[in-house]
Chains A and B, each alone.
Chain A
């Protein structure tokens, strides 16, 4: 009995050791919540890591300011801090030294690489990000025009911070959505080329002060292995989105030949199938596009309710889609010679044995690869009006 009592006491004493614990506990008050991070090239050997931190205290005051006046000198609810280092981990460490609170990566969904750094190569830093525990594999990657840091400093009026704006933009599918894992898969794949969304700064059109600039996705960056080659414009990006099956929504506007007006349709479904073919040592590709759409605007004389006209409309729209995809393919094939569509992987998957032969020559084969596009366009509904009211 006595020994039991002593043993219990001993255990209890050990418990006090536990009370000093809570080793990994971090209060929210001591966190610097990162909303976005940017990496830039500093000089040949070092990079600059910038982070956008949510500042909880000022946002309370700011609320009042916004309520009273929509003036420009509202305090930013975020803080941008940067540090240099030889690589991501090194810069992260130095950054922590500058900030009183513990840097918290768990909520960060946005990584932006500056143009200069992207030209040098991003693989090293990507590996660094992936190995660290906190940053997410699913965080989206972007390439920015100029310094990526500048994007973080933006203070969009409608969103809490620029990270949130970017996040929402991604969900609007105006540009590609590529996570770290997706990107690494592409880099490790057969095509060895990646397309990432390209971010620019939108300057306000009217005479408002330059403080209310916003980030926006405008085009696609083309990376071969992990180095930036250049960018595709917004028009070509639409085609890239389609080929990568990421065009969840979008509109297409065509001008049917004999008519004078324009015809716009919004897709509700857009599926593309990439079918590689190897016949007699000859590689070719077939793209089967299936699109379903709703007519949104029609200023032509074609009648959507008329089956004859409808067939014509559908044909015209299909042509428009083909053209859009062709534009993207041409830019990828001819201009940048980078297989950002992952065509090589489709060959590898369908013809694993034959592929070994062509693998080495892919770089020379790709620009001249014959790609056949077959588009089927179907108009589901005429929209809210059947016929344009005549005046």
Chain B
């Protein structure tokens, strides 16, 4: 119901649908209503108009879309009681009284009816009635809940979101059983009429943030929303930035952890990817896995990830810069070895690096799109191309193969795909700069990236938050992975109003050790 109210209150939205049917009441004659709806659904062969007579007295029509409706239940719970009962005095209340269906709504407007039909709810229209009855007997075909392949973990829940918003909502509700978990629904897309859910925890999330999210979502007015990618691009702060400003995840446990820190989550019907806002750069370098390990191990893994960011971004360009500009920095014996291996290579180091990196990227992209069986074939070809053959053919020197391989391995360490692809793309301009100005070029590239990051915001939160501007209390989850018992406060950037997460002093201490050992 919530979404309907929302939708009705928005005049613009009302207009968009009612190009054919203006906001119009149902009339008292069934025939009129039926023919009106029939013209609207003209050419939709999957819409079924089932005419029958209730109690043998009143003619009625049941309208539904085939395939979206649980026909068995419709027959059992609706048609059977209505057709069999006879002789009773007729009223709309008696009708709804005899139908054993829980989700029943009475509708007054044509437009509502159209919407309900499109959503898979059968509509019962009666003669002499200005109201229609919507029956919640939808049955949507859907995928089972599976582990999201892109975000698999070793230790942690194996559940992932599916394409159905109702299931996704239930996944969240199962994890947060408090009524403070609020859901706001809106519908966007002139034709697709996609349902979008906005989730937050009241009392933790800032009101201004929720308002801003709703404002940006309300602004969307277009033919169709085909996925959360559309929404992401429509609501992010700076669309022409390479960096993702919204976190996307398929894992409900990740979403819950963000909700509990005062973030807002947006889910979109027909898409298993949830969007989390606001977000900082460092959220992309954290994985839910970090919290499944011991905090020291989690911290080490996190540092490894930071190093891998530097490697992905800078290693090939540093290699090019050292080799073509700063040969004196390479230890003598290593330089002599490299000189030997490069002796037969016809290309400049920059070109060599580009060649290899592009090949690598191509192989990687190919591997992602191909079915699994072919994927292994690609990896064999790749190993040959990148490794032996290129060196044997004298196209690439073997140190360069090492560089590309290390870069590749480092790029697999990044837990979120969007940030990985951003860094991989940024590597190329930096490589060009390195080829042009050496280390100076790399530094200029880094400066430009940092300036850009400093000017980025995600829903009002500066992108580099705990570091710049510095928020001391939030550093504990960025510089390292703080122990669970030490995380007494929520992140400052998202929940200023309600900062206390847990009571202090939860570090486990064996107080009754003696008792334990006494027997």
Whether B325 lies near A106 (C-beta < 8 A) is no
Report how many A-B pairs have Cβ atoms within 8 Å.
68
**45-75 of chain A: CB within 8 A of chain B:** 54, 56-57, 59-60
Number of interface residues of A (CB under 8 A): 25
Whether B332 lies near A107 (C-beta < 8 A) is yes
Provide the residues of chain B in CB contact with A134, threshold 8 Å: 328
Compute how far the CA of A26 lies from the CA of B339 in the bound complex, rounded to whole angstroms: 12
Whether B324 lies near A33 (C-beta < 8 A) is no
Whether A26 lies near B324 (C-beta < 8 A) is yes
Say which residue of A18, A27, A104, A136 sits within 8 Å of B349 (CB atoms). Answer: A27
- Encoded as 1 (CB less than 8 Å from any B CB) or 0, chain A from 122 to 143 comes to 0000000000001010000000
Provide the residues of chain A in CB contact with B323, threshold 8 Å: 27-28
Whether B336 lies near A54 (C-beta < 8 A) is yes
Interface bracket on B? 20 to 34
Whether B436 lies near A107 (C-beta < 8 A) is no
Compute how far the CA of A26 lies from the CA of B436 in the bound complex, rounded to whole angstroms: 11
Compute how far the CA of A252 lies from the CA of B324 in the bound complex, rounded to whole angstroms: 49
Whether B348 lies near A25 (C-beta < 8 A) is yes
Q: With A106-B327, A106-B328, A107-B328 given, is the CB distance from A28 to B335 under 8 Å?
A: yes
Q: With A18-B436, A107-B332 given, is the CB distance from A25 to B325 under 8 Å?
A: yes
Provide the residues of chain B in CB contact with A57, threshold 8 Å: 340, 343
Cβ-based interface call for A389 (8 A): no
Minimum CB–CB distance for A227 against chain B, Å: 32
Whether B348 lies near A107 (C-beta < 8 A) is no
Provide the residues of chain A in CB contact with B340, threshold 8 Å: 56-57, 59-60
Provide the residues of chain A in CB contact with B342, threshold 8 Å: 27-29, 56
Cβ-based interface call for B387 (8 A): no
Cβ-based interface call for B420 (8 A): no
Minimum CB–CB distance for B332 against chain A, Å: 5
Compute how far the CA of A18 lies from the CA of B432 in the bound complex, rounded to whole angstroms: 11
Compute how far the CA of A18 lies from the CA of B328 in the bound complex, rounded to whole angstroms: 25
Compute how far the CA of A116 lies from the CA of B340 in the bound complex, rounded to whole angstroms: 36
Cβ-based interface call for B183 (8 A): no
Provide the residues of chain A in CB contact with B336, threshold 8 Å: 33, 54, 56, 160
Cβ-based interface call for A31 (8 A): yes
Cβ-based interface call for A24 (8 A): yes
- Encoded as 1 (CB less than 8 Å from any B CB) or 0, chain A from 1 to 25 comes to 0000000000000000010011011
Compute how far the CA of A136 lies from the CA of B328 in the bound complex, rounded to whole angstroms: 10
Cβ-based interface call for B435 (8 A): yes
Provide the residues of chain A in CB contact with B328, threshold 8 Å: 104, 106-107, 134, 136
Cβ-based interface call for B438 (8 A): yes
**328-364 of chain B: CB within 8 A of chain A:** 328, 332-333, 335-336, 338-340, 342-343, 345, 348-350
Minimum CB–CB distance for A219 against chain B, Å: 27
Provide the residues of chain A in CB contact with B335, threshold 8 Å: 28, 33, 107
Whether B338 lies near A28 (C-beta < 8 A) is yes
Compute how far the CA of A27 lies from the CA of B341 in the bound complex, rounded to whole angstroms: 13
Compute how far the CA of A341 lies from the CA of B336 in the bound complex, rounded to whole angstroms: 37
Say which residue of B332, B333, B343, B438 sits within 8 Å of A56 (CB atoms). Answer: B343
Query: Taking each of A60, A106, A164, which has the highest tally of chain B beta carbons within 10 Å of its own beta carbon?
Result: A106
What residue in chain A is nearest B331 (Cβ atoms)? A107
Compute how far the CA of A181 lies from the CA of B497 in the bound complex, rounded to whole angstroms: 62
**420-456 of chain B: CB within 8 A of chain A:** 435-436, 438
What residue in chain B is nearest A60 (Cβ atoms)? B340
Compute how far the CA of A27 lies from the CA of B436 in the bound complex, rounded to whole angstroms: 13
Minimum CB–CB distance for B164 against chain A, Å: 44
Q: With A54-B336, A56-B343, A59-B340 given, is the CB distance from A25 to B324 under 8 Å?
A: yes
Instruction: A24-B325, A56-B340, A104-B327 given; name 20 further pairs at CB < 8 Å.
Output: A18-B436, A21-B436, A22-B435, A24-B438, A25-B324, A25-B350, A25-B436, A26-B324, A26-B325, A27-B348, A29-B345, A31-B339, A33-B327, A33-B336, A54-B339, A56-B342, A104-B328, A106-B327, A106-B328, A109-B332
Q: Which 6 A-B pairs have the closest CB atoms?
A: A106-B328, A56-B339, A56-B340, A25-B324, A56-B343, A107-B332
Residue pairs across A and B with Cβ atoms less than 8 A apart, 13 shown, are A22-B436, A25-B438, A26-B325, A28-B349, A29-B339, A31-B327, A54-B339, A56-B336, A60-B340, A60-B343, A106-B327, A109-B332, A160-B336
